[in-house]
Chain A
Amino acid sequence: MFFHMVLERNLLLHPRYFGPHLRENLVMKLMKDVEGTCSGRHGFVVAITAVDGIGKGEIREGTGFVTFPVTYQCVLFRPFKGEVLEAVVTMVNKMGFFAEAGPVQIFVSSHLIPDDMDFQTGDMPNYTTSDGSVKIQSDSEVRLKIIGTRVDATEIFCIGTIKDGFLGVINDSDDVV
């Protein structure tokens, strides 16, 4: 699920960036540091939308670096258990397949894949129904439900299933059973 939140961060700026463009340098540094990262608590930072304010800088003792507290608004993405997402399959093996929904990786194990789909080895390993109508292979789009998340300090990883109703490969025309 996506969220839009106000967060705060302390940025350390080298004196070479002091000058008339101090603020722009700070903002650039913020974006470089924060965008694309993940915190266990908030999820993945997708993009920074605004910088609300930059506080007074404090010079650190012994070095010339200055710490600025920066408040900024950003779009966050955090997956939850029970959430249904669309994802793109990246890797298929006999234990299941891996898919990515944006920055988060989801693994669907083979026992959570419907029983009528079997693993086919080959240079493009895939899962196929017995009549060949539905195929899951690399780069297919799949709708899956998250049944478990593992949240580290800087990483989020999920387990998904496609065994429930309305889940599975997304086709433009057909409905997925």
Chain B
Amino acid sequence: MAMSMEPFNRLVRLVARAFYDDITMKGENQPKNGRSDNRGMAVVVLDALTRRQWVREEDLAKSLKLHSKQLRRTLRFFEEEKLVTRDHRKETAKGAKIFSAAVAAATADGKKNPREGEEKVKLHTHSYCCLDYAQIYDVVRYRIHKMKKKLKDELDSRNTIQEYICPACKRRYSALDVLQLISPTGEHFVCERCNNELIAESDKLASQEMGDGDENARRRHREYLKEMLQKIEIQLKPLIQQINRVKDLPVPEFGSLQAWEARANAAGLLNGDPGGNDPNRANQGQGYGGTPMPYLGETKVEVALSGAEVKGEEDNGADIGSPMKQLPPWMIQEGMNLTEEQRRGRGEVKSDTKIVSSSTSTYDIDEKKPNDVKEEDKSIQDEYIKAYYAAMVKRQEELKMHQKTQNELLGGDVSNVQETHPGRQVGMKAKREDDDVEWQEAAIPAVANGAPKVNDLNITASESENEDDDGVDWEEG
């Protein structure tokens, strides 16, 4: 498909630079030069559209770094010029993600994940746009034809409205006035005032000339028109050549938005590798939907998938969908018998939290460690927000359930943590081997104890209590 589009894309780019390189969108406002002079934006937009198929307008605005209002105005202008087709439809956020998945599939990303998260019932109107190549070809030809015709007509004085002059009083009349000026005999027109016969005189779009010096003005005007015609020939030559080249080629057709989406999704299904894919890619595809915090609403699914990925890596290529879903940390109630899988995923998730690094002895899980590190590095950006949220919830629960002493311990641990992670920033990769090792170790003894808690903090706290033996009464929540 991309092959046959190249000459058409070239045509679109030529058209943009020929005709639309100096349009401003501020028709009504006062033109302010300098800062707000963004002529040529239309060319950028058209060029961007040649590299995409159906695209959501918000996404285009984001990738072009334009204000969406300006972009919308430009696209509306192009829609009126018949270069672009737009489609507006109300969608849930889920529908929007299906589209994103279709885009990802169409642009040859291997991974596609239509999300089946919770239904978001609110309907937003999303606008999509796409270049309409068939129409572009016709529109451009028509435009050039009209340009040339207008000049030729004027040269031949075809569309001019005749003027009539009274020889005596030099009064000028337009042909529109002649109805009242018909002579009684009906043979000619007579002047209102002096009743003399009027003489015809052709006029050229009267604004060009004033009364005297008609001959010169008219001649100059004709020369100007001829010059314009010649300039058109010269300056539009590459465009006309491209049109001729494109004339016989089949036009790339994307169809309506629904059809294209269905096709792209189907293609993606065939091409994409269902399991063992890059979780980063997966999460990118999921996060592409544009909602600010995708994880909040659909943490369950996310965890399952990333856990599946992790498990896939560990099990060397397991298929998607582990038999048991991994529970997110805030879902785990006390007293639940967590299975190995449920907790293992938790352990992975936990490793990214920056809550506590307990003082317990390290437990070396060599075989898991490199995998985990690799996973975390890849999925840091994704896990971070999720884990942070989980940690926040956890912390709230802790503070609720335990007494002040425990809070102090917790606070101490927290401050400890914050000291030990000075260089850690949002979005930056950081190796945290210490953390995950401790978490692994913390999780497992908890199971051994047979009393799984919501928070690993509880576990570590109780362990440290055993070691420190402050003699404080713990209130087990």
- B interface majority secondary structure: loop
Provide the residues of chain A in CB contact with B189, threshold 8 Å.
95
> Is B399 part of the contact surface with A, judged by Cβ < 8 Å?
no
Q: Which residue of B lies closest to A164 (CB)?
A: B158
Provide the residues of chain B in CB contact with A91, threshold 8 Å.
186
A111/B202 in contact, CB under 8 A: yes
Query: Measured between alpha carbons, how far is A131 from B9 in the docked complex, in Å?
Result: 52
B202/A150 in contact, CB under 8 A: no
> Is B240 part of the contact surface with A, judged by Cβ < 8 Å?
no
Query: Measured between alpha carbons, how far is A149 from B179 in the docked complex, in Å?
Result: 12
Query: Measured between alpha carbons, how far is A161 from B140 in the docked complex, in Å?
Result: 28
B161/A148 in contact, CB under 8 A: yes
B178/A150 in contact, CB under 8 A: no
A109/B200 in contact, CB under 8 A: yes
Besides A91-B186, A111-B157, A159-B161, 13 other A-B contacts (C-beta < 8 A):
A93-B187, A93-B188, A94-B188, A95-B164, A95-B188, A95-B198, A107-B178, A110-B200, A111-B162, A111-B202, A147-B161, A150-B176, A161-B158
Provide the residues of chain B in CB contact with A147, threshold 8 Å.
159, 161
Per-position binary interface string of chain B over residues 185-213, scored 1 when its CB falls under 8 Å from any chain A CB and 0 otherwise: 01111000000001010100000000000
Name A148's contact: one of B176, B188, B198, B200 (CB within 8 Å): B176
Q: Which residue of A lies closest to B197 (CB)?
A: A95
B contact residues vs A (CB 8 Å cutoff): 157-162, 164, 175-179, 186-189, 198, 200, 202
- A interface majority secondary structure: strand
B175/A105 in contact, CB under 8 A: no
A112/B179 in contact, CB under 8 A: no
Query: Measured between alpha carbons, how far is A91 from B177 in the docked complex, in Å?
Result: 16
Provide the residues of chain A in CB contact with B157, threshold 8 Å.
111
Query: Measured between alpha carbons, how far is A94 from B183 in the docked complex, in Å?
Result: 12
B187/A94 in contact, CB under 8 A: yes
A157/B179 in contact, CB under 8 A: yes
A contact residues vs B (CB 8 Å cutoff): 91, 93-96, 105, 107, 109-112, 147-150, 157, 159, 161, 163-164
Q: Which residue of A lies closest to B185 (CB)?
A: A93
Query: Measured between alpha carbons, how far is A91 from B178 in the docked complex, in Å?
Result: 13
Query: Measured between alpha carbons, how far is A110 from B198 in the docked complex, in Å?
Result: 14
B159/A93 in contact, CB under 8 A: no
Provide the residues of chain B in CB contact with A105, threshold 8 Å.
179
Provide the residues of chain A in CB contact with B178, threshold 8 Å.
95, 107
Closest 9 CB pairs of A and B: A150-B176, A109-B162, A159-B175, A148-B161, A93-B187, A147-B159, A163-B158, A109-B175, A157-B179
Cβ of A124 to closest chain B Cβ, rounded Å: 13
Cβ of A110 to closest chain B Cβ, rounded Å: 7
Cβ of B261 to closest chain A Cβ, rounded Å: 40
Sampled A-B contacts (15; CB under 8 Å):
A91-B186, A93-B186, A94-B188, A95-B178, A95-B200, A105-B179, A109-B162, A110-B200, A111-B160, A111-B200, A111-B202, A147-B161, A157-B176, A159-B175, A161-B158
Q: Which residue of B lies closest to A149 (CB)?
A: B176
Query: Measured between alpha carbons, how far is A147 from B198 in the docked complex, in Å?
Result: 21
Provide the residues of chain B in CB contact with A157, threshold 8 Å.
176, 179
Indicate whether A159 sits within 8 Å of B176 (C-beta atoms), given known contacts A94-B187, A109-B200, A111-B200: yes
Provide the residues of chain A in CB contact with B159, threshold 8 Å.
147, 161
Q: Which residue of B lies closest to A157 (CB)?
A: B179
A112/B176 in contact, CB under 8 A: no
Provide the residues of chain B in CB contact with A159, threshold 8 Å.
161-162, 175-176
Query: Measured between alpha carbons, how far is A43 from B53 in the docked complex, in Å?
Result: 46
Query: Measured between alpha carbons, how far is A96 from B157 in the docked complex, in Å?
Result: 16
Cβ of A100 to closest chain B Cβ, rounded Å: 12
Q: Which residue of B lies closest to A155 (CB)?
A: B179
Q: Which residue of A lies closest to B183 (CB)?
A: A93
Q: Which residue of A lies closest to B156 (CB)?
A: A163
Provide the residues of chain B in CB contact with A107, threshold 8 Å.
175, 178-179
Q: Which residue of B lies closest to A158 (CB)?
A: B176
Query: Measured between alpha carbons, how far is A110 from B189 in the docked complex, in Å?
Result: 13
Query: Measured between alpha carbons, how far is A95 from B198 in the docked complex, in Å?
Result: 10
Cβ of B43 to closest chain A Cβ, rounded Å: 31
Query: Measured between alpha carbons, how far is A59 from B284 in the docked complex, in Å?
Result: 76
Provide the residues of chain B in CB contact with A149, threshold 8 Å.
176
Provide the residues of chain B in CB contact with A164, threshold 8 Å.
158
Query: Measured between alpha carbons, how far is A99 from B157 in the docked complex, in Å?
Result: 22
Provide the residues of chain A in CB contact with B176, threshold 8 Å.
148-150, 157, 159
Provide the residues of chain A in CB contact with B158, threshold 8 Å.
112, 161, 163-164
Provide the residues of chain B in CB contact with A150, threshold 8 Å.
176-177
Q: Which residue of A lies closest to B176 (CB)?
A: A150
Q: Which residue of A lies closest to B177 (CB)?
A: A150
Cβ of B427 to closest chain A Cβ, rounded Å: 60
Q: Which residue of A lies closest to B178 (CB)?
A: A107
Provide the residues of chain A in CB contact with B179, threshold 8 Å.
105, 107, 157
Query: Measured between alpha carbons, how far is A17 from B133 in the docked complex, in Å?
Result: 66
